[in-house]
Every structure is written in structure tokens, then in C-alpha cells.
Amino acid sequence: MKKFLRILKWVGLVVALIVIGLIVAVYTLKDRTFETPAIVIKASTDSAVIARGKYLVYGPAHCAHCHTPNDKMSLVDEGQMVPMSGGRLFELPIGNIYTPNITSDKETGIGAKSDEEIARVMRYGVKTDGHALFPFMPFYDIAESDLLAIVSYLRTLEPVKNKVQDNTYNFMGNVVRAFIMKPEGMKTKDRPKILATVNPDSTTQYGEYLARYVANCVGCHTDRDLKTGEFTGPEFAGGFKLPGEGNMELTLVSPNITPDPETGVMYNWGEEMFIKRFRQGRTIKESPMPWGPFSRMSDLELKALYRYLKTVKPVKQDNGPTVVKTADLK
């Protein structure tokens, strides 16, 4: 018995040391920084470039959907040019994430940041201070011309002084920051070649560009872990669970948009029906999908998106109802 107690004591001591070591490692590494390749970019004053940037920001790239306060979402849906002063709250399992002010205010916005610093955030998911961002934005592989357009348009925004609250992380969040979170744009060795420029058209190639690198269809219509942001399910097959917009009592489950004849929600949709659905905008009040910005996409781009989604690999996956009670998932 004494021998067993001694063994138990030593096991307890080892476990305690491991736990202490883990805690020390977490709080040492949670603020780690990253180096990224240099970016050479200079904002343009060309009106066509700026117009393209504005279209992306308030349309398919839906920047306005995330960088405006929660109580201004309805105005964004209506098509108003709401100042992107940040402060929108995302309550995640790892803590509370607040979107930054991206107006040109020099104290609380991006007015004091260089074009390269802004582009670095979009291309690699790394802030000015070197910290990695939670993978919300899909722009890591956006074409150089569209990156320039967005940066150029952001430079034209009127300054709005709005100091956004710092993100708050729980212990799990700090574990993710210490050991998992790293620059998204540097994660994969087989990332696609960055296009120098893109010309909007109705081809499946341009549709893929929108679905993967601009509108981020793949980001929400693929199941993923909300603690890390990592994908866990087949692409475009849905099943990703997100809190209801403005209603945490409901959870929205993204539908399967692959062309599976049994479980793909768009299998029987024609091109006109697809465009008509986008023009309708938000029909489920709590849907986190940026229906307002997407409803203003051009017919050309919606055709490209539809044609591409018809080519993705069919996946048989029934995700059940789109809206469920959060309590029923626990």
C-alpha cells in the first residue's frame, strides 16, 4: 500500500509539473509574432481602381458586413454606405473577437498604417505588431489587382474616431494562439499562384475565384472548428454551425451547396433561380450570411458563381434544418 501511495504521489507530482509547464508555455507563446514576405504596394488614385475597390468592399468581399457595429447590420443590408468603424462582436468558444476600425482615422483606424501593412493583413493574416489574426477573412489568395483596389478604396474613407475594444481570450483561446494560430497565407505549400489581375466574366474560373478567395462561400459552406478556424468537413457540403445573427438562442447550419441530387439544396436550381434568390436578400432574419452585400453582386458574377458551384464534387451530406435551437445542440 505504501509503495502504491508513493507511486501515486510521484504520478501526481509529474502531472502537476506538466500542467504548470503547459500553463507557462501558453502564456509565454500566446503573444508570439510572425515574419512574412515583404509586400510592395502603393494605393492608386485612379477612379476605376477605386470604384472596383468600393464594389468589392460593399459587395462580394462584404468587408462592410463585418467592419460595422452589430446594430448597423440592417443598414448594410439596405445598401447604405455605413462607415466601417468596427466594433462588431463575434462570440466564439475561444473568447470575444471585435472587428477593427478600418476608416482612415489615424488614432483608432488605419490612417496611420502604411499600404504595405494593410495589404499584409489581407494577404497573410498578420497584424502590424506581428500577431496572427483569427482566420475570418478569405483574401489570402486574392488577385494583386483586387488587393490594390481594396487598399486604394479604403484610403478614401472618411475618418471615424471609434476605439474598438481589445479581443478577450479565455484559456482555450490562449492555447489556440500559442500553439495553433499562425499566418493563414503561409499555411499551405500548395497555395495557388496569386493572379496579377482578374477580369470579371461569367466563366467557371472566375466563379471559383469568387467562391474561394473573395466571397468566401467555401468558408461558411464547409464545416469547421470554431475554436481554431480549421476546416473539418468536405468543401461546400455545409454543416458549419454559426450563432444566429443577433440571437444566440438560435444556431444557423450552413446548407450543402454541392450538386448532390439528394442532399444538395441547389441541385434543381437553374441559373435564373440562383440569381433571383440572391436578389431577394435576407429571408431568414438570423442568417449570418451577408445577404445585403451579396444581393448587389452583378449578374455576370452571380452567373460565374452558379456555374462554378455546378462543377464542384457532389457530396451526399444531409445537414438537417438550417435553423435550430442552440439548446438542442448541447
pLDDT tens sequence across 223-266:
999 888 889 999 999 999 998 888 889 999 999 999 999 999 99
Nearest to 289 by CA among 224, 225, 221, 235: 221
Confidence (pLDDT) at 11: 66
Confidence (pLDDT) at 189: 64
The domain segmentation of the chain, as residue ranges, is 39-194, 199-330
Residues of the chain with pLDDT under 50: none
Confidence (pLDDT) at 181: 85
* CA separation for the pair 244, 145 (Å, rounded): 34
Confidence (pLDDT) at 3: 65
Question: Nine-digit cell at 92?
Answer: 466564439
What's this model's pTM, rounded to 2 decimal places?
A: 0.91
pLDDT tens sequence across 141-182:
999 999 999 999 999 999 999 999 999 999 999 988 988 888
Confidence (pLDDT) at 277: 96
